[in-house]
């Protein structure tokens, strides 16, 4: 598995799209810090970019890599190699290269601008951690979609639809539910609905750690009482881990049962 992981990792690192992805975050970090010269404000702006862009890139890259390497995968399957090693190696290679591009692309400019001397170091670290989790989660989801659909057009369509639902449609349905059932106690419902979407969960964690939850009104106060505590942070990180583990477990199960 490690050999396949290394091959997939280096294959993507040599790809021009990985350089574009890395250089985009590098340039974005330098530009934001040049304009603001304030790490905390830059973190808020980056959050809005990362929450939307990282899941999209993870989804598209995962599907694209699986379909482009399908012939190589079939060649590996003809060898005495476990399917688990093949698909986990490819998955961690893709997700690892994307996460590394994100961390290095944003980390370099912030370190140069004095991140370690800033009070926002924890907020920035949380931003990178949630970004890495979103990369792992949506890359795993995209591999599941690709494994379930032999047709490339369907696979790409379902992948984009998944991202669109998680990033846009889910929030709309969530807000409509809050408006329709506003007469009922919705504290528990709001917390559960937030944790059932990794994008919303990541956004809420970062917003609350930036102490701007007052902008969220009553809902922000409820979230602050839960997510703002160490217990809430721990439970949220556990949920992100589950969001990563469950798709990876399904990926392995699907790979074992699939007839190639």
The residue ranking higher by pLDDT, 52 or 5, is 52
pLDDT digits (tens, 9 = 90+) for 58-116: 999 889 888 888 888 888 778 887 888 888 888 888 898 899 889 999 888 888 887 77
Terminal Cα-to-Cα distance of the chain (whole angstroms)? 19
pLDDT digits (tens, 9 = 90+) for 209-227: 665 544 454 455 556 666 6
Per domain, the residue ranges of the chain are: 2-153+164-252
pTM as predicted:
0.88
Task: Provide the percentage of residues in the chain whose pLDDT is more than 90.
Answer: 21
> What pLDDT does residue 41 have?
75
The set of residues, in sequence order, having a beta carbon less than 8 Å from that of 205 and lying 6+ positions away, is 126, 130, 227, 233, 236
> What pLDDT does residue 229 have?
67
> What pLDDT does residue 1 have?
67
* Half-sphere exposure in the Cβ direction for 141 (13 Å, CA): 25
Give, in order, the Cα–Cα distances in Å from 35 to each of 29, 31, 38, 41. Answer: 10, 6, 9, 10
Query: Binning pLDDT at 50, 70 and 90, where does residue 143 land?
Result: very high
pLDDT digits (tens, 9 = 90+) for 144-173: 999 988 888 999 999 999 999 998 898 888
Say how far apart CA 160 and CA 147 lie, in whole Å: 15
pLDDT digits (tens, 9 = 90+) for 31-68: 888 887 777 777 778 888 888 899 999 999 889 888 88
CA dihedral of residues 211, 214, 220, 223 (deg, nearest 10): 30
């Amino acid at each position: 598995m490690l050999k396949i992981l290394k091959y997939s990792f280096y294959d993507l690192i040599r790809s021009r799209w990985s350089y574009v992805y890395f250089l985009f975050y590098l340039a974005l970090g330098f530009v934001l810090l040049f304009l603001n010269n304030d790490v905390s404000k830059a973190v808020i702006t980056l959050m809005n970019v990362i929450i939307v862009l990282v899941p999209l890139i993870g989804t598209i890259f995962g599907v694209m890599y699986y379909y482009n390497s399908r012939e190589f995968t079939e060649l590996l399957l003809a060898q005495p190699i476990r399917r688990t090693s093949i698909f986990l190696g490819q998955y961690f290679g893709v997700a690892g290269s994307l996460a590394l591009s994100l961390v290095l692309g944003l980390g370099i400019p912030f370190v140069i601008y004095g991140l370690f001397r800033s009070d926002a170091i924890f907020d920035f670290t949380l931003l990178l951690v949630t970004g890495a989790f979103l990369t792992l989660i949506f890359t795993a989801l995209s591999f599941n979609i690709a494994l379930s659909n032999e047709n490339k057009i369907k696979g790409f369509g379902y992948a984009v639809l998944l991202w669109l639902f998680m990033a846009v449609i889910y929030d709309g349905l969530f807000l409509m539910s809050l408006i329709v059932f506003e007469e009922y106690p919705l504290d528990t419902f709001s917390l559960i609905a937030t944790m059932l979407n990794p994008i919303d969960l990541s956004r809420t964690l970062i917003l609350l750690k930036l102490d701007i939850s007052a902008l969220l009104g009553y809902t922000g106060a409820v979230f602050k009482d839960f997510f703002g505590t160490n217990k809430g942070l721990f439970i949220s990180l556990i949920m992100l881990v589950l969001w990563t583990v469950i798709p990876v477990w399904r990926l392995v199960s699907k790979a074992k049962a699939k007839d190639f």
